[in-house]
């Protein structure tokens, strides 16, 4: 604590001597002799600029922007990816439902239609065919019965 | 043999109807086209009187005894069928008045032929002997052949008659052959005697083939697979009221004798012919329903539907050993008569512009043209499909119950599924009536046709909603096996 | 019920008032007097609803049997009686039906412009048949109403529906019919087991009857393999109606093509028939079959597949009505899951969700119908930014969407929570998949809402749409109020549903082969304030 208070006191005294009493001749001399050193001191060791460049611009903003990118794309993949997968699965499920599940239902109907077309062909309109069908049917009936009796 | 007074009484319906038919035939020469309606009126009158006689007989004590040497019996079973068949004749006459009146063919012979067919049917259901049944069957068949071809100027009608005749003769031959085989083994023709005889005898192949042949001959008349092939063509070609009659009257008679023969004479062989009937029933239901699905011609569609219904009725035959078998057939045939005739009658309605209007698209927009007709047709369609609360549902319920109880669960499953499928083609008509647009002209019906349709509709709905009295009465009509 | 010393057959009155109205319209009002027809129809359904209100107030919540019973012989030769009566579950469904009846009639005023006489007659007939199904305590009578209900619905879809109505109508009729007829065979088999026996099994030799109470007892006593056969016979009839996967494909077509009121009634009431059937028949009658491990697994699997599969297919629908139709598959999968959890939470939740689904999905169909009347398109892509033009409509829509989604404060949440609780008590994985369904539900509903209502008005046709008329709001307000009421204070509902659920749980309780700790849930357990009974969470 004493060092810092002492440094502050020295600085106070020096400032009073140099600027208040001496019109700044010594600082000007230092500025002329050691210009870079003087600039360093004048710009407060460029701490602000350093901060600005490294932390604010570099880490925070660019880093932030980078992480934002990562977040928006990669991490957000969790919901977005799920959504995409879900949408894809939903679309596939919909196709399955329309074609396979409902297709089975309509397929039953189509099956009946094919059966109908088959049944139609039995009606040829000719009496001879009809008599043949009847006779064959009768023969078949009796034959099957006698065989499996 | 001497006939007592009661014998004459029991025979009087048939005799009266024969006399009525002959009378009508004779006086028809004096009635031109314009006055034909009077002949129709007479037909209805005579038939109604016959119904009255039958009802009177039913109250007569001891009417159940067989007469004429055991050849003829008027038990409750026969009475039920007689009444129902006579009602169907009345309905046919009502439906035919305008139809035949507009056609260039004489009406007198038409009505007389109807009555003769009726006589044949009456004798059939009273038959207690294989030969008397056969003879009566032939009488009914011959009159039917002529009726089918009555519109002799129409090529389809003649075609229908010829096909019916040829194939009918074929099946009669088969039936007769079967009868002769049975006679050869048994030596007698009376049904109760046969039953008593077979109680002792062991089965022989000849006997069973004979039974099968009898079955085949009867299945033809009933329109079961594979003996159904004549039905679509004959139903399509015959004049529509005649088709309506064919789908009820002769079917009823055929079922009656099928039931009587197999219930009374051959019950012992149930185990043998049961499975065959089951297979035939299955095939009939499938073929009948599938072939009707996309049929464009209404008469053919209803013909196939009749085939399918024959299949359902066979379920009752399978269930003969159960309480619901014969009872179920009776209930079902009652429902079937009214709903099927009603449907055909509405086809007659649509054909007022001539013989040819027969496709499903003729039903388009019927709801707008005549809402009552459309609603009534809807009732018939629902009943045919077996949707409650209609008579058709009650009938089908009994048949499914019979099949289930008899142990043929697979057949019952097939029957209900086919019943559901049938809704598709019945409702093609309903869709045409209610959803599609026709030509919008109002459609009026003749009084007689309206009467016939209304009778059918009321019966269909009434038996569906309040079946108890009818069902209980029919329970009493089941044949009592000694 | 007794009123001033007179016995009033209130259930029959409630059931047949719509029929009386229909007959009055048929015989007394010519088809030109459309205004009078609408008025009479409205008066009839309001009268029906008012007639059903006493049921709610006079119903005894704690009573275990059926109430308001009416019994008269109908077909004694077969043992069929005219037998009406209700318990908790039928009570709520009857009230739902009578309320929906009013809503359906009122919402049709402007939607139906052709053949109005036939339309209102059919709607009223449908109302009678649906009510009869819920009231029936005789299996034959139930079957009659169950079948005949299909006829007016067929015509409603086929005459007043949209483009593919012919296909949708016959598909609906045939598919449902095919299931029902197999159920008929199950009924016949049950009848025979009660009387003279069937297929090698000896019958009990009782007098023939179709009474549900008696046959339930008969069925419970049957051997397991028999119960399984009968269960599946009944199953098909109900599963198609629910609809359960994979028997659901008639639903999108029927719902989409039906007119608005038709869709509302289909969703709100007709779909409940299937689940009602399970709860009234399958569960009490065939407990040994249901608790057989493979049967239960199958049922629950189908339910869960229904939830997830239904939700996934909903997500990609482009037609609003079809989207909501598929969402019904998902929602009813939830109900089935609750029911087959076979515990108090699940069953009560399932029953409550039946009512909730009717409210929310019925309401959504109403809303879609309203915008359809304005723009005659149901494609989502045609809309966008509607909220700017129709803020009132957007609000109602939002409320019903949230109800359908299961957001707390609204009815859907209560039902879903109870179901999840019940499911979780049986298996973590059941609840897991069900919860996935909830998330998907939120997805498709909110996405729908966003696409239709938010954003800019991209389609110029949407620029000047009128907002809801008072009449339209009138049809929505009861639903919103119900949704809020059940969501905030579900206790009355749970009180009514408690006893029937207990009966079912008792019937299946103690019979599980694999989970012996499913002993009777304490039948006389005091119910908590929210009305939810607990299930035992399993690790």
Q: DSSP string of B413-447? A: HHHHHHHHHHHHHHHHHHHHHHHS----------H
pLDDT at B119: 95
Nearest CB to B163; choose among A127, A133, A140: A127
Q: Is the ipTM of this complex over 0.85?
A: yes
Cis geometry, peptide bond prior to residue B141 (ω within 30 degrees of 0): no
Whether chain B has a CB inside 8 Å of the CB on A132: the answer is no
Q: Assign residue C63 a region (left: φ > 0; alpha: ψ between -120 and 50; beta: otherwise).
A: beta
Pairing of strands C2-3, C67-75: unpaired
- Buried-state track B157-178, b at ≥16 Cβ within 10 A, e below 16: bbbbbbbbbbbbebbbebbbbb
Question: For residues B450 and C300, what is the distance between their CA atoms, to the nearest angstrom?
Answer: 56
In this structure, what DSSP letter does residue C3 have?
E
Question: For residues A90 and A83, what is the distance between their CA atoms, to the nearest angstrom?
Answer: 10
In this structure, what DSSP letter does residue C208 have?
P
Number of Cβ pairs < 8 A linking chain B and chain C: 82
Angle of helix B323-350 relative to helix B371-385, nearest 10 degrees?
150
pLDDT at C515 over 50: no
Q: Do A105 and C317 touch (CB under 8 A)?
A: no
pLDDT at C481: 94
Whether chain A has a CB inside 8 Å of the CB on B151: the answer is no
Find the domain containing C373 and state its range: 292-527
Q: How many domains does chain C have?
A: 1
Whether chain C has a CB inside 8 Å of the CB on B321: the answer is no
Whether chain B has a CB inside 8 Å of the CB on A141: the answer is yes
Searching chain C, which residue's CA lies closest to the CA of residue A105? C249
| Secondary structure class of C310 (helix, strand, coil) | helix
Is residue C143 within 8 A of residue C129, CB to CB? The reply is no
| Neighbouring subunits of C (3+ Cβ pairs under 8 A) | A, B
pLDDT band at residue C532 under the 50/70/90 scheme:
very low
| Secondary structure class of C86 (helix, strand, coil) | strand
pLDDT at B481: 66
Give A98→chain C minimum CA distance, Å: 8
Q: Do A93 and C246 touch (CB under 8 A)?
A: no
pLDDT at C281 over 80: yes
Q: Which residues are C319's β-sheet partners?
A: C379
Question: For residues B209 and B203, what is the distance between their CA atoms, to the nearest angstrom?
Answer: 10
Annotate C474-530 with three-state secondary structure.
HHHHHHHHHHHHHHHCCHHHHHHHHHHHHHHHHHHCCCCCCCCCCCCCCCCCCCCCC
pLDDT at C334: 93
Q: Which residues are B127's β-sheet partners?
A: B72
Q: Which residues are C7's β-sheet partners?
A: C2
Mutate to test the interface with C, among B410, B412, B418 (most CBs of C within 10 A): B412
Question: For residues B89 and B106, what is the distance between their CA atoms, to the nearest angstrom?
Answer: 18
pLDDT at B482: 53
Question: For residues C113 and C122, what is the distance between their CA atoms, to the nearest angstrom?
Answer: 15
| Neighbouring subunits of A (3+ Cβ pairs under 8 A) | B, C
C207 inside domain? no
pLDDT at C5: 66
Q: Assign residue C267 a region (left: φ > 0; alpha: ψ between -120 and 50; beta: otherwise).
A: alpha
Backbone CA torsion sign across C47, C123, C252, C364:
negative
pLDDT at B399: 94
Q: Please list every residue in chain B whose beta carbon sits closer than 8 Å to the beta carbon of residue C196.
A: 405
Nearest CB to A133; choose among B162, B229, B272: B229
Q: Do A137 and B226 touch (CB under 8 A)?
A: yes
Question: For residues B145 and B234, what is the distance between their CA atoms, to the nearest angstrom?
Answer: 10
Whether chain A has a CB inside 8 Å of the CB on C440: the answer is yes
Mean pLDDT along residues A67-88: 81
pLDDT at C510: 52
pLDDT band at residue C514 under the 50/70/90 scheme:
very low
pLDDT at B120: 94
Q: Please list every residue in chain C whose beta carbon sits closer than 8 Å to the beta carbon of residue A90.
A: 312-316
pLDDT at A149: 67
Q: Please list every residue in chain C whose beta carbon sits closer than 8 Å to the beta carbon of residue B420.
A: 174, 177-178, 180-181
Is residue C330 within 8 A of residue C524, CB to CB? The reply is no
pLDDT at C213: 87
Is residue C130 within 8 A of residue C269, CB to CB? The reply is yes
Ranges in chain B, pLDDT < 70:
1, 352-357, 481-482
Which is higher by pLDDT, A81 or C441?
C441
Q: Please list every residue in chain B whose beta carbon sits closer than 8 Å to the beta carbon of residue C78.
A: 471
Smallest Cα–Cα separation from B99: which of B60, B49, B151?
A: B151
pLDDT at B154: 86
pLDDT at A72 over 70: yes
Whether chain B has a CB inside 8 Å of the CB on A112: the answer is yes
pLDDT at B421: 92
Half-sphere CA count of C165, side-chain side, radius 13 A? 21
Counting residues of chain C whose pLDDT is more than 70, the rounded percentage is 94
Domain boundaries, chain A: 1-42
Counting residues of chain A whose pLDDT is more than 70, the rounded percentage is 99
pLDDT at C4: 66
Whole-number Cα distances in Å, B73 to B65, B183, B186, B213, C464: 6, 21, 21, 24, 84
Pairing of strands C80-86, C67-75: antiparallel
pLDDT at C534 over 60: no
pLDDT at C529 over 50: no
Smallest Cα–Cα separation from C305: which of C332, C323, C284?
A: C332
Is residue B131 within 8 A of residue B85, CB to CB? The reply is no
Half-sphere CA count of C473, side-chain side, radius 13 A? 11
Domain boundaries, chain B: 1-265, 269-482
Question: For residues C275 and C306, what is the distance between their CA atoms, to the nearest angstrom?
Answer: 14
pLDDT at C186: 92
Give me C141's structure tokens. 């009578």
Cα-Cα end-to-end distance for chain A: 122
Mean pLDDT along residues C225-234: 92
Is residue B292 within 8 A of residue B273, CB to CB? The reply is no
Q: Do A130 and B163 touch (CB under 8 A)?
A: yes
- Helices within B103-239 (DSSP H only): 107-126, 130-148, 155-186, 191-200, 205-222, 230-237
Nearest CB to B290; choose among A116, A125, A137: A116
Question: For residues C131 and C98, what is the distance between their CA atoms, to the nearest angstrom?
Answer: 8
Least confident of B104-118, B370-384, C192-206, C444-458: C192-206
pLDDT at C521 over 70: no
Is residue B85 within 8 A of residue B253, CB to CB? The reply is yes
Give A109→chain C minimum CA distance, Å: 10
Question: For residues B341 and A65, what is the distance between their CA atoms, to the nearest angstrom?
Answer: 85
pLDDT band at residue A28 under the 50/70/90 scheme:
confident
Smallest Cα–Cα separation from C96: which of C139, C127, C129?
A: C127
């Amino acid at each position: 604590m004493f060092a810092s208070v002492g440094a502050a006191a020295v600085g106070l005294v020096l400032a009073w001597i140099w600027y208040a009493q001496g019109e700044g001749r010594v600082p000007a001399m230092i500025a002329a002799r050691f210009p870079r050193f003087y600039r360093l001191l004048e710009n407060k060791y460029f701490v602000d600029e350093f901060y600005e460049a490294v932390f604010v611009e570099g880490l925070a903003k660019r880093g932030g922007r980078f992480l934002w990118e990562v977040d928006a794309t990669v991490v957000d993949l969790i919901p977005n990816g799920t959504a995409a997968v879900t949408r894809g699965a939903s679309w596939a499920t919909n196709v399955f439902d329309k074609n396979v599940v409902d297709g089975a239902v309509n397929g039953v109907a189509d099956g009946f239609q094919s059966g109908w077309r088959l049944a139609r062909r039995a009606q040829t309109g000719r009496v001879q065919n009809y008599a043949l069908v009847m006779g064959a049917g009768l023969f078949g009936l009796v034959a099957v019965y006698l065989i499996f009796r | 043999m001497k006939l007592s007074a009661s014998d004459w009484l029991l025979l009087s319906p048939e005799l009266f109807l024969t006399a009525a038919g002959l009378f009508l035939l004779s006086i028809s020469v004096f009635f031109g086209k314009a006055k034909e309606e009077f002949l129709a009126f007479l037909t209805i009158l005579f038939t109604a009187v016959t119904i009255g006689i039958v009802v009177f007989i039913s109250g007569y004590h001891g009417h159940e005894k067989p007469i004429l040497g055991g050849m003829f019996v008027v038990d409750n079973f026969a009475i039920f069928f007689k009444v129902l068949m006579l009602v169907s004749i009345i309905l046919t006459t009502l439906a035919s008045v305008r139809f035949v009146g507009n056609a260039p063919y004489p009406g007198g012979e038409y009505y007389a032929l109807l009555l003769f067919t009726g006589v044949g049917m009456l004798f059939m259901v009273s038959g207690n002997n294989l030969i008397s049944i056969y003879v009566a069957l032939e009488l009914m068949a011959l009159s039917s052949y002529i009726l089918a071809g009555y519109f002799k100027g129409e090529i389809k009608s003649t075609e229908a008659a010829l096909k019916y005749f040829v194939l009918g003769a074929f099946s009669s031959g088969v039936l007769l052959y079967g009868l002769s085989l049975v006679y050869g083994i048994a030596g007698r023709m009376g049904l109760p005697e046969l039953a008593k005889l077979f109680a002792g005898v062991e089965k022989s192949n000849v006997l069973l083939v004979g039974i099968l042949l009898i079955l085949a001959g009867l299945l033809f008349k009933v329109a079961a697979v594979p003996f159904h092939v004549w039905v679509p063509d004959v139903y399509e070609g015959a004049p529509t009221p005649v088709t309506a009659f064919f789908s009820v009257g002769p079917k009823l008679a055929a079922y009656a004798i099928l039931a009587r023969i197999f219930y009374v004479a051959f019950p012992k062989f149930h185990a043998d012919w049961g499975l065959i009937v089951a297979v035939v029933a299955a095939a009939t239901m499938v073929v009948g329903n599938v072939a009707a699905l996309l049929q464009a011609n209404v008469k053919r569609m209803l013909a196939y539907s009749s085939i399918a219904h024959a299949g359902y009725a066979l379920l009752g035959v399978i269930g003969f050993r159960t309480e619901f078998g014969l009872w179920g057939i009776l209930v079902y045939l009652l429902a079937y008569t009214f709903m099927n005739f009603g449907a055909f009658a509405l086809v007659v309605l649509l054909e007022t512009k001539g013989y040819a209007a027969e496709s499903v698209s003729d039903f388009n927009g019927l709801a707008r043209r005549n809402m009552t007709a459309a609603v009534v047709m809807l009732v018939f369609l629902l009943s045919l499909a077996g949707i409650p609360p209609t008579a058709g549902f009650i009938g089908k319920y009994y048949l499914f119950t019979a099949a289930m109880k008899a142990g043929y669960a697979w057949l019952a499953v097939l029957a209900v599924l086919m019943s559901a499928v049938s809704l598709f083609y019945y409702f093609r008509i309903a869709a045409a009536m209610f959803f599609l647009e026709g030509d919008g002209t109002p459609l009026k019906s003749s009084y007689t046709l309206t009467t016939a349709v209304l009778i059918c509709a009321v019966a269909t709905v009434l038996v569906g909603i309040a079946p108890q009295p009818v069902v209980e009465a029919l329970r009493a009509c089941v044949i009592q096996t000694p | 019920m007794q009123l001033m010393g007179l016995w009033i057959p209130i259930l029959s009155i409630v059931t047949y008032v719509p029929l009386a109205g229909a007959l009055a319209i048929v015989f007394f009002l010519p088809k030109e007097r459309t205004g009078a027809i609408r008025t009479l129809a409205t008066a009839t359904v309001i009268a029906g609803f008012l007639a059903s209100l006493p049921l709610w107030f006079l119903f005894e919540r704690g009573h275990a049997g059926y109430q308001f019973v009416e019994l008269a012989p109908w077909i004694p030769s077969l043992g069929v009686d005219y037998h009406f009566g209700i318990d908790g579950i039928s009570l709520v469904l009857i009230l739902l039906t009578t309320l929906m009846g009013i809503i359906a009639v009122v919402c049709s005023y402007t939607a139906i412009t052709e053949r109005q006489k036939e339309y209102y007659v059919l709607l009223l007939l449908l109302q009678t048949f649906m009510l009869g199904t819920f009231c029936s305590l005789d299996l034959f009578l139930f079957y009659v109403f169950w079948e005949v209900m299909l006829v007016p619905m067929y015509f409603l879809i086929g005459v007043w529906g949209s483009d593919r109505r012919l296909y949708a109508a016959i598909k609906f009729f045939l598919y449902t019919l095919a299931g029902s007829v197999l159920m008929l065979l199950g009924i016949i088999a049950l009848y025979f087991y009660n009387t003279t026996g069937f297929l090698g099994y000896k019958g009990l030799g009782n007098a023939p009857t179709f009474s549900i109470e008696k046959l339930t007892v008969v069925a419970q006593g049957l051997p397991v393999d028999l119960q399984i056969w009968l269960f599946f016979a009944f199953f098909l009839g109900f599963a198609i109606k629910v609809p359960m996967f994979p028997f659901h494909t008639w639903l999108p077509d029927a719902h989409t093509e039906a007119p608005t009121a038709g869709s509302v009634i289909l969703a709100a009431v007709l779909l409940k028939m299937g689940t009602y059937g399970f709860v009234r028949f399958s569960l009490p009658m065939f407990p040994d079959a249901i608790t057989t491990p493979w049967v239960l697994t199958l049922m629950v699997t189908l339910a869960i597949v229904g939830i997830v599969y239904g939700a996934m297919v909903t997500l990609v629908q482009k037609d609003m009505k079809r989207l909501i139709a598929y969402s019904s598959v998902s929602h009813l999968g939830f109900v089935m899951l609750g029911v087959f959890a076979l515990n108090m939470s699940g069953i009560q939740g399932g029953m409550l969700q039946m009512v909730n689904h009717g409210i929310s999905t019925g309401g959504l169909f109403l809303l879609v119908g309203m915008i359809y009347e304005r723009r005659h398109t149901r494609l989502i892509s045609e809309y966008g930014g509607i909220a700017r033009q129709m803020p009132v409509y957007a609000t109602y829509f939002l409320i019903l969407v949230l109800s359908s989604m299961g957001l707390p404060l609204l009815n859907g949440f209560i039902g879903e929570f109870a179901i999840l609780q019940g499911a979780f008590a049986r298996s973590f994985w059941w609840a897991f998949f069900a919860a996935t369904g909830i998330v998907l539900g939120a997805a498709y509903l909110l996405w729908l809402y966003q696409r239709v209502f938010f954003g800019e008005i991209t389609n110029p046709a949407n620029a000047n749409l009128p907002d809801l008329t008072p009449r339209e709001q009138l049809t929505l307000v009861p639903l919103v109020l119900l949704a809020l009421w059940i969501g905030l204070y579900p206790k009355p509902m749970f009180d009514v549903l408690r006893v029937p659920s207990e009966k079912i749980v008792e019937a299946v309780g103690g019979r599980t082969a694999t989970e012996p700790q499913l002993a009777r849930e304490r039948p006389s357990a005091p119910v908590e304030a929210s009305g939810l009974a607990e299930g035992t969470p399993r690790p």
